[in-house]
Every structure is written in structure tokens, then in C-alpha cells.
Chain A
Amino acid sequence: MSEKEKAAESAQSVVFADWVKSQALAWEEAVKRTAQAWQAPLGTGPAGAGEAATQPTPDEIGKGLFAFLQALSSITGAPNPADIQAAKSVPDMMLKLLQPFWGYSIKLQKQWAEMTGATATGEPENMAEILKQMTKTFYEAQAEDFRKILNIPQLGINRYYQERFNKAVEKASDFQSALTEFLQLLMIPVEKAYYNVQEEIAKMEKEGKAAVKDSKALYQLWIQKLEDHYMRLLRSDDYMNTLTETLNKLHDFRAARAEFFMDLLQNLPIPTNRDMDELYRDLHILKKRVKELERKVKENGR
């Protein structure tokens, strides 16, 4: 190995050592921040993590994510965002955009923690009620923040395509919210039937009657109660409104999705539903006219 080659190798090893060090630090920071962010709301972090002062704010969580992204960009060889002075405003913007997400994810985690008994706050009556609350939180998150992000005016030659994509995402999210609420409603009779059966058994024991011990009789009691509760639910205004809302959201989602797919299909040799529907409508009208003409010819021939 020549002196020149040795010098080059030495320089490479120094650069490599620096690179390894920077990656290690970046990963360490990213892992630390994200772990802190996710563990704190569940109350399973380090000692004292339950105190309000050590709870990370959505902003801090966002910074953790940003550090993680920095590490990733370094590993993939992309320029480190923090090294580019001109791009310093980008992380801030990203943090602001992501802030609602972290905020609501913390709220959802807290609700889950309440459900599993990890925290003492909040005493939801049953699973259906908890799901209802979580759905509500999720829906509020969409309505208040994500919707605004998705509706940021688009610019440039691709603006209409981007708008249609954003709309499909927005409507998919709306439909998921409505569907979850609808399914949650369908869970209520199962829980009510359970409590009714418990009450019936307790009542029998109190009255000195033998409680239902035969599993078949118990099943019959339960299925009857379940049916009764479903019958009441299915006729309720709450159910009707939720069903209607779910169907409306489904329609909106399907329509938005169809618009988005039409953009894709237009670039392929595949006719869209709109193309085919126009053809089918023409065919339908033509067939009716031919039939009517045939009828008239037949009548005149008599």
C-alpha cells in the first residue's frame, strides 16, 4: 500500500467513525424521545413519569419523531434536514401539522388506559360506551384538525388530482368513524342481555327459586333477552340516525373513491364506470325505441 493509499484509507476511517457516531447519537435520541412519548400516557415510564411535569407535550413528541426522521435520512444517505439552513422552517411546519395527531393519539391512549383500568380516572360503564367515547374522540380529531389539513388548497398542474385524492382519504376516514359508531351500537344489546341474565339469576336466588343451572335454559334466557334488546334498539331513533349516517358516509366515500380511480383509469386502456354508464344509458334508450317501433309496425301490419 502506497503512502497515498494509506492516507486515503485513514481519512475514510475517520469519516466512517464520525458517521457511525452521529448515527448512534441520532438513533439513541430518536428511541429515547419516542419511548418517552409513548410510555408516559400509559404510566409505565420511568419513575416520576406519571407527574404532569414530565409528560411530553405533543410538540415534544413531534420533536422525537423529527429526530427519528433525521436518523433515518442519515442512514439512507439523504442530506440531514437539520444541516440545511434553508430548510429549518420545514421541521417547524411538520411539527405543527403533526401536532393534532399526537394530541389525539395521547387522548385515545388515555381512554384505552381507562378501559383497561391502568388509570383511576373515568369510569365508563361498559365496553360499548368506551368504544363510543373513543370513536367520538377520533371523529372530533378529524373534524377539527385533519379535515383542515386535507382541505389545504392545492396548487399547480396536479391540484385537481391531489384534491380528489385528499377527498377520498377524508371520506374514507369519515366512513370508518361512522361505521365504528354503528358497530358500537350493535354491541349494546349483548351487554344489556348479560346484565339482564345476571339480574334474573339473582332474582331467582333471592326468591328461593332454583336459579337456572341448565346451560340450555340459560342460553334460551340469554338469546331471548338479546332478541328483545335488539328489537328495541333496531326501532330506536338513535339506531335509525346512525344507520342513515353510516350509509350516507358510505355513499360519500364510494363516490370520492370512484372519482380518484377515474383519474388512474384514464391513463390506462380501461373504460371507467362513467364511460360505461353513458354507453349503457344510450343502449337502454335505443332498445326502448326499437321495441316501440316494432310494436307500431306490428299494429300497422294487422
Chain B
Amino acid sequence: MEGEKKTRLSELMAPYVMAADLIMARVAGDAAKFHDQLRKAKEVLLGPLNTEIAVTPYDVVWQEDRVKLKHYHPRTAPLLKTPLFIVYAQVNRETMLDLQPGRSVVETFLNAGLDIYMLDWGYPTRKDRFLNLDDHVNGYIADAVDFILEQHGLDQLNIMAICQGGTMSVMYAALHPEKVKNLVLTVTPTNFDHDAGLLNVWARSLDPDKLVASYGNIPGDIMNLGFLLLNPARLMIDKYVGLLENIHNRDFVENFVRMERWIFDSPDLPGEAFRDFIQWMFRENRLIKNELVLGGRKVDLKNITMPVLNIYGKYDHLVPPAACDQLTSKIGSTDKEDLCLDTGHIGIYVSSKTQREFGPKIIRWLTERDESPEPVAAEAKKPSKKKKDEAAAEEE
């Protein structure tokens, strides 16, 4: 009886035992090599590791509630007359654009002479649960734009936006086209009526009312769990097997930990804004159908008449090409370009290959569309020391 029981149980457990065996075998390799790697791994893990992210210096020049505006210290004379305002998504943080020296979009732009402002959405608390999509587009984004324009004494600025930040920037550009000189969209979903990505399929089946009623704000960890479940084999197993294989390699470990720090630094999403986004975008696809109304005004894509550069990733599993490639056919602009790169959702910003292609392309495209007789730097209208100190204290 006991023997039978053991056989039966071991049979049932076999798939899991095999999984563990394979992972261990993959990690260990041959015994001598494994021993050597373990020794080195000990040195790496117990020694000092540089895993800091977002180290490029900046000032917080404006703040409204939790939302801050970063202004990066220019490194060279301004290349363009028009400053660049970067709007990141509310999912995860904008630090991804400045992951580490040598893998930083911010650094590439600064070295070329762009004057960069970047929106930091901060960490919403329960107080922010009633902020809706309109509050973010016609509130925070609009106010930050007005602040930058006032600082530079300009009527227009350039916007570069990422993912959901791009979707909101499209709304802003359609509602306030007179303030946007050029619009650069990267991995920006605007069409939600497709089944190309799992995220789309799942989001449509979500009941946002229940989630918002239950949580208030949507926890970042819930979002992260959803992202991990998009590909459990790779994101929950293979990725960490890769780390164990390279655990003796300091550079690899540092880069890996930096990415982990970024991935799991996930602010919660303001409840009402989440509800609006799921309902109006994923479920009703209002934006691309020109049916969205924000703050009582219709978001008409035909109002987007400024030049638009629309960049997306061919292998993006979160925002697949099907989510991005319809926009340019719907907007009013005649100067528009779609650019599909051979990369994924994050690789577009951090992979060495796209670093050589992505940043320079944007700089070139903006330069060609900038009338730059007399660049106006923001230095002339720097915020008062008191304001900066207050912002710095808040940052801490």
C-alpha cells in the first residue's frame, strides 16, 4: 500500500519535479564551473552593487498635488528653440527613460542639446481616487504645459509621450492643438478594438466599477501581477533562471536589479481615471472613433494638425502594432510618419540597438521641424529658490 501510494504521488508530482530539475541543471552546468560561479556570485552579491536608477540631475520646477515637473540640467547650448515636454504613462514610472548612464533616453537628448521637461505623476494616495481622465488631461498636463510655455515665453512646445501618457497626450493635442508644435508618440495605444495583445482581451473583460469600488485606487501590484501573467513562463521563470546563470557577472546583476527596481516601482492608479480609461478606451474605443468627450468638449482627432511622429514596436506584447498604426490615418495633420521598430515595449527605450536608432531619429525629426533663430532657454526664468527648496523638500 505504502509503495503504491509513493508511486502514485511521485507520478503526479513528476511535472513539478522535472521543472525543478531542469532549472537546477540549467543553472548548475558542470560541477567545477558551477563551483567557480558560486564563489564569484558570493563576491558579487556581498560586494558593493551600483543599482541606482534615474541619476541624471534635474530640478523639480513645478508641482500640483502629487504631480511634479522635472527640468533636466542642460549639458550643451540649446539645439532647438522649442523645449521638449515628456509625458510618461501612469503605469510604472518615468525613471525608465533614464535607467542608467549609457542606456538613457534622457542622456541622449541632453547630449544633443534638447531642453527637457518630464512629468512625474507621483504616487497617488486614496485622496486621489476621484481624479478622472479629464483632471489628468485638462488639469495636470494642461497646467504643466502652460507653466513651461510661460517659463520660455513661447506659445507652443514639443511633446513626446510614452504608452498611456501618449494616449492622454493625443487627447490633449486634439483639445489644445494651438499649444503643441510637434507631437512624438511612442508605443502609444489609440486603437483598442483588436485581439492582438492579451492585455486588450483581459482589460475588456474587467469590471472597472467593481475594482474601483473595491480598491479606490487600483494597486500597482495588481497591475504588475497582470503584466507577469501575460507570459508566466518567461517573466516568472526563465527571467530568473537567466539571472542565476549570470549571477557571477556583476554588470549583468546590476542591470538586472536596476530593471527589477523599475518594474516593481508601480504607483497605484487613481480610481476614477482607471475607470474612465478602461470603459472609454478598452471597452468602447471612443478615441479612435472620434467619440470621446472630455471636460464637456469633443476630442476631435482632426484637430491634430501639427506634425506627428508615431513610433511603435513590432514585437510589443503590451501595445502591439494593431493598437498604434491607425492613428495617423485619422488625424488632421499632413506631416505624419509611422515608424515600426524591430523591438518590444521596453526594449524600444533601453536596448542598445534601439538606443542608436530611437533617440537620434527623434532628435533629427524635431530638428527638421524647429524654427530656431533665437533659442529661448528657461534659465532666464528659473523658479525662485524658495519654490525650489519647497519642491525639493516635497521630493524627499
Q: Which residues of A are interface residues toward B (Cβ below 8 A)? A: 43, 115-118, 126-127, 130, 186, 189-191, 193-195, 197, 215-216, 218-219, 222-223, 226-227, 230-231, 234-235, 240, 243-244, 247-248, 250-251, 254-255, 273, 276-277, 280-281, 283-284, 288, 291
Contacts and interface: CB of A to CB of B under 8 A. Distances in A.
A72 to B, nearest CB: 34
Given A190-B19, A193-B15, A235 B211 contact: no
B154 interface: no
Contacts of B213: 251, 255
B241 to A, nearest CB: 8
Interface in B163-187: none
14 contacts: A117-B6, A127-B15, A186-B232, A193-B15, A216-B26, A219-B22, A223-B234, A231-B231, A243-B202, A255-B214, A276-B126, A277-B126, A277-B129, A281-B130
B9 interface: yes
B140 to A, nearest CB: 11
A117 to B, nearest CB: 3
Contact of B216 (A190, A273, A284): A273
Contact of B211 (A219, A230, A247): A247
A194 B202 contact: no
A222 B241 CA distance: 13
Given A186-B232, A234-B229, A254-B215, A219 B26 contact: yes
A127 B232 contact: no
Given A127-B13, A251-B213, A280 B229 contact: no
Interface of B: 1, 4-9, 12-16, 18-19, 22-23, 25-26, 29, 126-127, 129-131, 135, 139, 198, 201-202, 205-207, 210-211, 213-216, 229-234, 237-238, 241
A227 B233 contact: yes
Contacts of A231: 231
Contact of A127 (B12, B25, B238): B12
Given A186-B232, A273-B126, A247 B131 contact: no
Interface of B, helix, strand, loop or mixed by DSSP:
helix
B210 A251 contact: yes
A127 B15 CA distance: 9
Contacts of A195: 15
A117 B19 contact: no
B5 A118 contact: yes
B202 A277 contact: no
B233 A280 contact: no
B205 A194 contact: no
Contacts of A130: 12
A7 to B, nearest CB: 60
B23 A219 contact: yes
B127 A283 contact: yes
Nearest to B9: A116
Contacts of A240: 201-202, 205
B142 to A, nearest CB: 11
Contacts of B233: 189, 223, 226-227, 230
A226 B22 CA distance: 13
Nearest to B135: A288
A126 B12 contact: yes
A188 B205 CA distance: 22
Nearest to B65: A287
B22 A115 contact: no
A223 B214 contact: no
B218 to A, nearest CB: 11
A116 B3 CA distance: 10
